[in-house]
Structure 1
Amino acid sequence: MTGKFELILQKDKIGVGKRKQSVARVFLVPGEGKIIINKVPGEKYLQYNTTYLTNIWAPLKILKLENQYDIVVLVNGGGLTGQAESIQLGLARLLCKMEPQNRALLKPYGFLTRDARIKERKKYGLRKARKAPQYSKR
């Protein structure tokens, strides 16, 4: 392992974000503003969806750091929306860990709030969590 990935192995430079089933481990590397998700360019991984990309870049744009760092992410589980939101949370947490005064700037935008909604469990006698079998009177 050489270059960027040596910096990744330091535990204090990691931000973990979770959303639904997805877990993202985010690393910031000095660079020119690229996203690498699971060793694939971020634009390609997120299927060139501008909404996902702007959501990920939002914490860095607020702090005006978008061209100073490359974002390296290891993410698994869930779909693309959950993964993008977990990357955003992990990035915001990492920025707060690096500079504690960033917390006051990111908190009003809701970047540090974990969305706790998860899938509800299936109940017996039902088809899904709340979907009941069709009722027939006769």
Structure 2
Amino acid sequence: MAEEKKTLEDLKEITAEAANAEAGSEASEAVTAEPKLDAQGRAYATGKRKDAVARVWIKPGSGKITVNGRDQLTYFARPTQRLVVNQPFEVAGRKDQFDVDCTVKGGGLSGQAGAVRHGISKALTYYEPGLRPVLKANGFLTRDARVVERKKYGKAKARRSFQFSKR
């Protein structure tokens, strides 16, 4: 039952070997991340923002984006909304390489643009898992949880009180 006395150098070697073994297993897990595609070779994802929900399919193509059966230029009339929708492709360096087909329900146009962006970002990570760190660093994979606050009783709106009258 004599225990071996380990020196500091022995402990450093043991921890270095363990770290190398963990790094090797993590690297093999990162390599094994495979694309999630359907029978037509498309990646599907759901994006959400406020009350809007977008169902997004992406496939290799010329960069055409269709929203509810219409081109993005007619559906998202404001340039800022089109900019929001195209942000994931710009950041990932995949501009004009994927065709997007999506359906959006609920909310207004601004929320719908955010939902489409979220859906495109998720679908890109399913199609090319290597893009995940880039999109995650820019915050495109995080669901923006901010929603409209509900109206409370005794208030004119969510927080606004009725006008005070002294007489």
TM-score by length of 1: 0.86
Using the TM superposition, give the Cα deviation of residue 99 of structure 1 relative to its aligned residue in structure 2, in angstroms. Answer: 2.1
Q: Report whether the alignment pairs 1:74 with 2:73.
A: no
* Change in CA separation of 1:8 and 1:54 when aligned onto 2, cut-off 3 Å: farther
Contact 2:84 2:113 in 1 (8 A): yes
Count of residue pairs brought into register by the alignment: 130
Letter in 2 for 1:27: W
Does residue 43 (structure 1) correspond to residue 73 (structure 2)? The answer is yes
8 Å contact kept, 1:28–1:72 = yes
SS of corresponding position for 1:90: helix
What RMSD over aligned residues (CA atoms) do the two structures have, in Å? 1.9
**Residue in 1 that maps onto 2:43:** 13
Q: Which has the larger radius of gyration?
A: 2
Considering Cα pairs closer than 8 Å and 6+ residues apart, tell me whether 1 or 2 has the greater RCO: 1
Q: Paired residue for 2:123?
A: 94
1:6-29: CA deviations, max 9, x gaps? x9887x821111111100111112
Any conservation in 2 of the 1:8–1:27 contact (CA below 8 Å)?
no
Alignment CA distance shift 1:67-1:110 (3 Å): same
Q: Which residue of 2 aligns with 1:33?
A: 63
How far residue 137 of structure 1 moved from its aligned partner, in angstroms, is: 1.6
Alignment of 1:56-67 (within 5 A): 56-67=85-96
Amino acid at match of 1:23: V
Structure 1 stretches of 4+ moved >2 Å: 7-10
Looking at secondary structure, tell me which structure has more helix per residue: 2
User: What's 1:4 paired with?
Assistant: none
State the distance in 1 between where 2:94 and 2:120 align: 12
Q: Give the TM-score normalised by the residue count of structure 2.
A: 0.72
Counterpart pick for 2:54 among 24, 28, 34: 24
User: Contact 1:123/1:130 (CA < 8 Å) preserved in 2?
Assistant: yes
1:49-96 CA-to-partner distances (Å, cap 9, x unmatched) read 221112111111222222221111100111111100110011101111
User: Which stretches in structure 1 are left out of the alignment for 5+ residues?
Assistant: 1-6
Identity %: 44
Q: Is the 8 A contact 2:43 2:59 kept in 1?
A: no
Q: 5+ unaligned residues in a row in structure 2: which ranges? A: 1-36
